[in-house]
Structure 1
Amino acid sequence: MQSLVNTAWGSPDESGVWPVKRRKVLDWLMTETQGERFIDNIFVEMCNRLLDIDVPVARATLHFAIQHPQWFGARILWQKGVTEAKIDTFEHGVEDTSEYLNSPVYEIRNGVNELRQRLDDGTQDASRYALYDQLRTEGLTEYVAWPLHHTLGKRHVVSFVSDKPEGFSEDNIALFADILPALALVSEIRLKNRLARTLLETYVGPHASEQILAGATRRGSGATVGAAILICDLRDFTAISDAWPRDDVIELLNGYFDAMSEPIQKHGGEILKFMGDGLLAIFPLSNPAACADLLKAISEAQTAMTTLNNEHIRAGRVPLEYGIGVHAGDVMYGNIGSRTRLDFTVIGPAVNIASRLESLTKEVKHPVLLSRAFVELAGLESELETLGSYPLRGLDRPVDVFGFPANHFRATDVPA
């Protein structure tokens, strides 16, 4: 890359002022993008500004390697004439595919400092990558790509493609070289902001992450909220973890948590924590459909567990059993812990009742137990089976307990 002061900007005039037309993209990147949170919007605006100063860009991409439990990377694609960029994500494992290994992005990420290729010169290099052939069929003429350097040696990729017969001029290439450090700085800030949010969402859930990012970081900060509470626990996990190889135990837990978690999140529940082989989730009652959503989540989770257990049986393994306790009431939602280590969670008598109901499933031999408070709130007294009143540890009065009948309703049968 060339330095910031180069022929792309022309020579200073006698007053020392750089030509305005050439400066405007870099000045805008450095001083006028503070109010924009998303790098894709900045990238679209930058490409349009390049067009405004007669740089023949018809297509441009940003490729980021990201830290995410599901995604290996993301691509932001801008094309001339569009108002919004297209964002594609790529799952872990794509880095081992031939499509990725035989791509300009792989080459740049692995040490090449510049790729510049005419797409229409008929040489073998013009068909070196499948991407080059694709771009040529779209009428594009020249491809250039560079690494986008972030801190700690992180190396991402930016590319530009021309549609003019002459491709990019040397002044164009020098201009790109000048804006890349600014683009790297601007994109790293946005990527780190997105990474912080992603990591918080991954570890504490979307709602808790919003609270933390909004400033709820002091111990004791929080609020009382009404919630439908779901606590789930796997049966005989201690015996399984003692008898199974470590990697098999991790695979089992991941499959079990997928089966339980995906329906909860799909229907608006928030998983606050995984506790060994158990999980705690809430459905805030600020949503009028919270109880119905929780029941739909349970129904779909049971279907997913049946599918998972069929796989275990085919593999010669014992099917997994679980218990679920459900209650509704007020909970304290916020930061709890030591001065230096906090947990964003819910506590209170309502959580304790849900936990006791989950434990009671072992005695009652029903996989799902629901309190009268939840059942009345959901309006399902006539739909569920009354199992009797049971004393629960720490409570003065027995709790009326309900379970799903033998002809347990499907998810689509749950009233909205």
Structure 2
Amino acid sequence: MLPVSNATSASPREGVWPAQRREILDWLVIETRNERFIDNILVEMSKRLLDAGVPVARATLHFRTNHPQWLGARILWRKGLSEAEIRTFDYGIEESIQYLNSPISEINNGAQVVRQRLEAPNEGGPLYPMYDELRGEGYTDYIAWPLNHTLDKRHVVTFSSDSPGGFSDDHIAFLADLLPALALVSEIRLKNRLARTLLETYVGPHASEQILAGATTRGSGVTVGAAILICDLRNFTAISDLWPRDDVIELLNGYFDAMSEPIEKHGGEILKFMGDGLLAIFPLSNPDACTNLLQAISEAQTAMAALNDENIRGGHDSLGYGIGVHVGDVMYGNIGSRKRLDFTVIGPAVNVASRLESLTKETKRPVLLSKVFAEMAGCESRLENLGSFPLRGVGEPIDVYAFSGDCAPAHQSESA
């Protein structure tokens, strides 16, 4: 790693391109306020640097995120491209040889700058494999800096050149002078993205959109028509008493994956997990909502069968479950105390779905549907009519159907 001039300390050099530097700084701080996405800002900033005479041919931003699936993400721009490439990284990447033997790891471990002239032989610094990759792609110079966010949260920005000789000291000073503004701009966008990600993770995509749009007042909400699905795991209390804690958590995660992924795939929204149960809706604004719900249940049953095969091979019992399905109008919005709200659905239709889920224990059928739902889905002829049942808290007995997995509408079956 070659020594870097004092310009890398981000102190401005007023004699070098002051007008161009001020123009880009003003753009970063002022004119990007209407741009939501940091990848677009990286692309535009890199183009402006090229126009200003700084030979940037490649730029990256590396962020750690609070995402349930990914540890972080890399945003990559290359000269000549109008869009950046975004790549996510799974948890555990920080233990990989690829990451540990990289300049990004060196920056995250406290280095203030990493510089490598790719045209020159290595002079005592780490010879990271990525340098050979960059050299092979025609780059001549590489530099990485930390982007310091609030409370010393450290991320990384890198620039590469393909110009003969790479970056001059003046180029490095120009780039370093942008770092505080870029850190500020990137932190705002990253926190906006994190807020949306966390809300999507905990309340679902549609509810998060409503909350971010300002639906944060207790009692605020709308009435929507929806197909409602309530699912509950059987004998979980006994399982949690007998199984080791880590096994119980793994079991729950596998069960929720089996149920949740088909629901989300087919347009359902999971509003909450309730211990070993879940509540989901399929808004009737989609004319195929009922068919989609049945398709989701069918795929979830297949996934649960595969999960139970694994459990049996591991010496555990199969998992049972009950699902209740109804359709109707629900109030969709904020409910709770003054300081703690829950974005959910309530109403008689939700109560019926809940009672149907409980009824699965009595009927020994894992999936029960109301007649109203079966009629709307157009699949009564392929369901088992179990008769009428009184449901606690529901005025009149309702006709109940058992679902076995055939969810194709009649006209599709006839034409197949």
TM range (shorter): over 0.9
Maintained 8 Å contact 1:126/1:132: no
Please tell me the residue identity of whatever aligns with 2:155. Answer: H
**C-alpha distance in 1 between matches for 2:295 and 2:411:** 6
For the pair 1:310 / 2:316, whether they are aligned, the reply is: no
One-letter identity of the residue aligned with 2:210: Q
CA shift, 1:246, in A, is: 1.0
Gaps (5+ residues) in structure 2?
Answer: 1-6
Partner of 1:15: none
Q: CA deviation at 1:150?
A: 0.2
Contact 1:296/1:414 (CA < 8 Å) preserved in 2?
A: no
- Equivalent residues in 2 for 1:16-415, closer than 5 Å: 19-123=18-122, 128-405=127-404, 408-409=405-406
- Mapped to 2, the partners of 1:414 and 1:58 lie a distance apart of 57
The 2-side partners of 1:130 and 1:32 are apart by 38
Which residue in the other structure is 1:14 paired with? Answer: none
Query: Are the aligned partners of 2:291 and 2:409 in contact in 1 as well (CA < 8 Å)?
Result: no
Structure 1 runs of 4+ off > 6 angstroms?
Answer: 410-414
Partner secondary structure for residue 274 of structure 1:
strand
User: In structure 2, how many angstroms separate the alpha carbons of the residues matched to 1:177 and 1:319?
Assistant: 60
Closer, same or farther in 2 for the Cα pair 1:412/1:60, shift >3 Å?
farther
Q: C-alpha displacement at 1:90, in angstroms?
A: 0.6
Indicate the SS of the match to 1:34: helix
Letter in 1 for 2:134: L
* 1:88-112 C-alpha deviation (Å, 9 max, x unpaired): 0011111111111111111100101
Letter in 1 for 2:328: G
Alpha-carbon shift at residue 413 of structure 1 (Å): 9.6
Residues 205 and 270 in structure 1, CA contact (< 8 A), matched pair in contact too: yes
Could you report, residue by residue, the CA deviation over 1:356-378 in whole angstroms, capped at 9, with x for unpaired residues? Answer: 00000011011000001111111
Q: Take 1:410 and 1:113, find their aligned partners in 2: how far apart are those partners?
A: 60
Contact 1:269 1:281 (C-alpha < 8 Å) held by counterparts: yes
Percent identity between the two aligned chains: 71
Q: Structure 2: how far apart are the matches of 1:175 and 1:168?
A: 10
Amino acid at match of 2:406: F
1:10 counterpart residue number: 15
The answer on whether the counterparts of 1:226 and 1:286 sit within 8 Å (CA) in structure 2 is yes
**Residues of 2 paired with 1:375 and 1:298: CA distance?**
14
Deviates more, 1:20-29 or 1:365-374: 20-29
Q: Deviations over 1:25-74 (max 9, x none)?
A: 11111111101000000110000000001111110100000001101000
Separation of aligned partners in 2, 1:223 and 1:412 = 30
- Within 1, Cα distance between the matches of 2:88 and 2:411? 34
* Maintained 8 Å contact 1:60/1:161: yes
**What secondary structure does 1:33 align onto?**
helix
Structure 2 contact 11–173 (Cα < 8 Å) conserved: no
Gaps of 5+ in 1: 12-17
Q: Aligned partner of 1:26: which letter?
A: L
Question: C-alpha separation between the residues in 1 aligned to 2:412 and 2:352?
Answer: 24
Matched AA of 1:329: G
Distance 1:31 1:414 in 2: 58
| CA deviation after TM superposition for structure 1 residue 245, in Å | 1.0
Query: What's the CA shift string for 1:1-24, capped at 9, x where partnerless?
Result: 6676622x417xxxxxx8423321
Query: Deviations 1:315-360 (Å, cap 9, x if unpaired)?
Result: 0100100000000000010000011110000000000000000000
Change (3 A) 1:243 1:414: farther
Q: 1:262 to 1:381 in 2, by over 3 A?
A: same
Contact 1:117–1:125 (Cα < 8 Å) also in 2: no
The CA distance in 2 between the partners of 1:134 and 1:128, in whole Å, is: 12
Instruction: Go from structure 1 to structure 2 and tell me whether the alpha carbon gap of 1:413 and 1:315 turns closer, same or farther (over 3 Å shift).
Output: farther
Taking the aligned partners of 1:114 and 1:412, their CA distance within structure 2 comes to: 63
Post-superposition offset of 1:178: 0.6
Identify the residue that residue 4 of structure 2 maps to in structure 1. none
Q: Is the 8 A contact 1:372 1:402 kept in 2?
A: yes
Greater mean deviation of Cα atoms: 378-387 or 359-368? 378-387
Counterparts of 2:410 and 2:250, CA distance in 1: 32
TM-score, length basis structure 1: 0.95
Taking the aligned partners of 1:123 and 1:91, their CA distance within structure 2 comes to 31
- Cα offset, 1:306, TM superposition: 0.7
